[in-house]
Amino acid sequence: MPGKTTDGALSEVCRRCKENSSVLVVRLEPLCQDCFARYVHTKAIKRLETFRVNFHTNEERKVLLPLTFGVSSTTLMHILDLHLKTQMSKTGRTGFALSVLAIGNAEGTLPVDGFLDKVRRQYPGDAALRDLVPHAADVRNFSDQEQLASLINSLPSASARADVLSTLRTRLIVEHARSAGCQSILWGDSTTALAEKTLAETCKGRGFSLPWQVADGKTPFGVYFHYPLRDVLKKELVSYIDLADSGLASLVHESTPGATQASTSSKNTTIDDLMKQYFESVEENFPSIVSNVVRTSSKLEVPAGADSDPRCGTAGLGKESVKAFAAHAPEHIYLTGRNSTAAASLMAEVRSERSTAALSFIELDLSSLRSPVGFDCTDKLAPLAKDKDLANRLWDWTDKILARYDGADG
């Protein structure tokens, strides 16, 4: 069992309550079962200050918890449930309303329905846990599974495939949170997971996005992200699940008990796998280094005024890329982006240098799934795509996702 068990020192007394005998050593402290549970709860709830009962308003904050049936998100659900019950018993009201969103995996190997039933039985008709949405936004669950598969398979590397899937998943969860009126998403990420994410994003060249990928707070999606388990290590969560008596373990579906046995071939290894392996080994002997990575990356902040100042010329396809393409005198360059004024000046600049290429600007916010709607993409873009069919399928697929949300809205 991870989280060092007290083998030789089993008789040692819990350092906190000084009564019971300890069951495991947490960061050099031998703790008993109760004190360990309290330790985990405190760490999580401390991070939920924002969601205390607010007596000044009747307006209830809605938060979304994406549940993947892994160790972390299951623990978080359990803790949030306890927290809500405590709030209810102490004050007669709760600080927030919780929606749980069940997430499957892209391969469709996770028996979401079965697990969902178990969760429902475990937390029956709980006043607080009122809104258990069954797998509404899972990429897996679209009937067009094959479309997705062919899209994903067209990507060249394992890292790219994993990356696109996780990006799609985040976007869908955010989209669901928006349509369900949730202001915040509570992610289950442990310290270890956040450290992995920090380094993985750094290695993918996305260091700039760390402020909203790791720190609590507002994201460019307009929804707030919170990571209540940011101070708890993965191995501690595993111990928590093992020690919990309320049948919590049966709710956990761990498809990969550890990344360490991940493929040895570099073809199938993803950057995320590498980071997982790395931090699993670091966590074992150097837990403070893991938490230090998270503490450090959380200190990064977007400089004030950076928002009003678009980072690229068109806030879209890179200015330099357009110029580089233009140098090869193609027939037509379509550039996309959010800033049409900047695009106009870029096009003027390119035309002044090389006049042969025709240029068109397509206003597109790629960070929004809704953006392409209303723009007749298929007509304009399909002739450009090498694989006309792929382009069509992509747009069909996007349409369908959005249709689901529009249905949910009404």
Partner 1 sequence: MPPSICAVCRTNRALILRPKDHSKLCRECFITVFETEIHHTILSTNLFERGERIAIGASGGKDSTVLASVLKTLNERYDYGLELMLLSIDEGIKGYRDDSLETVKRNAVQYDMPLTILGYSELYGWTMDQVVEQVGKKGNCTYCGVFRRQALDRGAARLGVKHVVTGHNADDVAETVLMNLLRGDLPRLSRTTSIVTSTPSLAPNKTGVADNTHIKRSKPLKYAYEKEIVLYAHHKQLDYFSTECIYSPEAFRGSARALIKNLERVRPSAILDVVRSGEDMARLVPGSDEGCGGACASATAAEEEVGGCGSAVGKSMASVERQLASNERAQESNLETEITLPKPSPAPSTTPAGPPLKGQKKPRSERSGGPKKKGPAKQVMGSCIKCGYLSSQAVCKACVLLEGLNKSRPKNAIEVGYEVQDVSLNSVRDELEATTLSTER
Q: What is the smallest separation between the CB atom of 292 and partner 1, expressed in angstroms? A: 4
3-class DSSP state for residue 332? Answer: strand
Q: What is the smallest separation between the CB atom of 213 and partner 1, expressed in angstroms? A: 12
What pairs with residue 65 in β-bridges?
100
- Distance CA(16)–CA(35), nearest Å, equals 7
Q: What is the smallest separation between the CB atom of 195 and partner 1, expressed in angstroms? A: 9
Residue with tokens 């990969």: 256
Total Cβ atoms within 10 A of residue 66: 24
The tokens for 291 are: 């938490």
Q: What is the smallest separation between the CB atom of 316 and partner 1, expressed in angstroms? A: 18
Q: Which CB atom, from 50 or from 147, has the smaller least distance to partner 1?
A: 50
Q: What is the smallest separation between the CB atom of 175 and partner 1, expressed in angstroms? A: 18
* Residues of this chain that bind partner 1 (CB under 8 A): 27-28, 46, 49-51, 54, 56-57, 61, 157-159, 183-184, 198-199, 201-208, 210-211, 215-218, 224, 226, 266, 269-271, 274, 278, 282, 285-289, 291-293, 295-304
Q: Which CB atom, from 290 or from 347, has the smaller least distance to partner 1?
A: 290
Q: Which CB atom, from 130 or from 206, has the smaller least distance to partner 1?
A: 206
3-class DSSP state for residue 160? Answer: helix
Q: Which CB atom, from 160 or from 391, has the smaller least distance to partner 1?
A: 160
- Distance CA(233)–CA(142), nearest Å, equals 34
Question: Which helix (H) or strand (E) segment is 98 a member of?
Answer: strand 96-102
Q: Which CB atom, from 57 or from 341, has the smaller least distance to partner 1?
A: 57
Q: What is the smallest separation between the CB atom of 93 and partner 1, expressed in angstroms? A: 15
Q: Are the beta carbons of 267 and 226 closer than 8 angstroms?
A: no
- Distance CA(237)–CA(271), nearest Å, equals 23
Q: Which CB atom, from 54 or from 339, has the smaller least distance to partner 1?
A: 54
Burial (Cβ within 10 Å: 0-12, 13-18, ≥19) of residue 105: middle
Q: Which CB atom, from 46 or from 332, has the smaller least distance to partner 1?
A: 46
Total Cβ atoms within 10 A of residue 235: 23
**Angle formed at CA 180 by CA 176 and CA 182, multiple of 5 degrees:** 95
Counted residue by residue, the chain has a size of: 410
Q: Are the beta carbons of 22 and 30 closer than 8 angstroms?
A: yes
Q: What is the smallest separation between the CB atom of 371 and partner 1, expressed in angstroms? A: 24
Q: What is the smallest separation between the CB atom of 249 and partner 1, expressed in angstroms? A: 29
Q: Which CB atom, from 253 or from 276, has the smaller least distance to partner 1?
A: 276
